[in-house]
Amino acid sequence: MGHVSDILDGKGRDVLWIDGSATVYDAITTMVEGNVGALLVYDGERLAGIVTERDYLRRVTLEGRDERTTPVRKIMSPELVYVGPDASIDECMAVMTEQRIRHLPVLTDEREVVGIVSIGDVVKFHSKEQSVQIRFLTEYISG
């Protein structure tokens, strides 16, 4: 089984982010333009949390907040759940399932951000890995 770093090697390590003082509207615009479902949130140079589409739906839409005036820090998830680049794909899937999250930042032991993986990234990697195994077994049997 592969590691989270293998996913990052394939998809890249660029991470979109936003300052906690920016408006929710700015965050949603950045997500749409970047075709992503989550942004890391910074307070100056400090990683402060993550904001996702789900945060928007729960804390803006359902609570009747104005996305053009509400700062991201008011709706973000400040308790950051993350994995390291050496975490196995199985471990990553377990964390996502247990925590019921779809986006997982990847941080080093020094809390340096080196990427972010989504459940889609994990499923795609897992599927590709299974295809390779099937092809190998087919060739072995056909021999």
Q: Which letter, b or e, does each residue of 107-133 get, where b requires 16 or more Cβ atoms within 10 Å of its Cβ?
A: beeeeebebbbbbebbeebbeeeeeee
Q: Which pLDDT score, from 0 to 100, does residue 112 have?
A: 95
DSSP result, 19-32: ETTSBHHHHHHHHH
Q: Rounded to whole angstroms, how far apart are CA atoms 106 and 121?
A: 13
Q: What is the Cα Rg of the chain in Å?
A: 18
Q: Rounded to whole angstroms, how far apart are CA atoms 97 and 119?
A: 9
Q: pLDDT in tens for each of the 143 residues of the chain?
A: 799 999 999 999 999 999 999 999 999 999 999 999 999 999 999 999 999 999 999 999 999 999 999 999 999 999 999 999 999 999 999 999 999 999 999 999 999 999 999 999 998 988 777 666 667 667 767 77
CB 90 within 8 A of CB 57: no
Q: Which pLDDT score, from 0 to 100, does residue 132 have?
A: 65
Q: Which pLDDT score, from 0 to 100, does residue 141 have?
A: 79
Per-residue pLDDT reduced to its tens digit, 9-46 = 999 999 999 999 999 999 999 999 999 999 999 999 99
Q: Rounded to whole angstroms, how far apart are CA atoms 83 and 112?
A: 11
Scanning the structure block, which residue is given the tokens 């928007």?
56
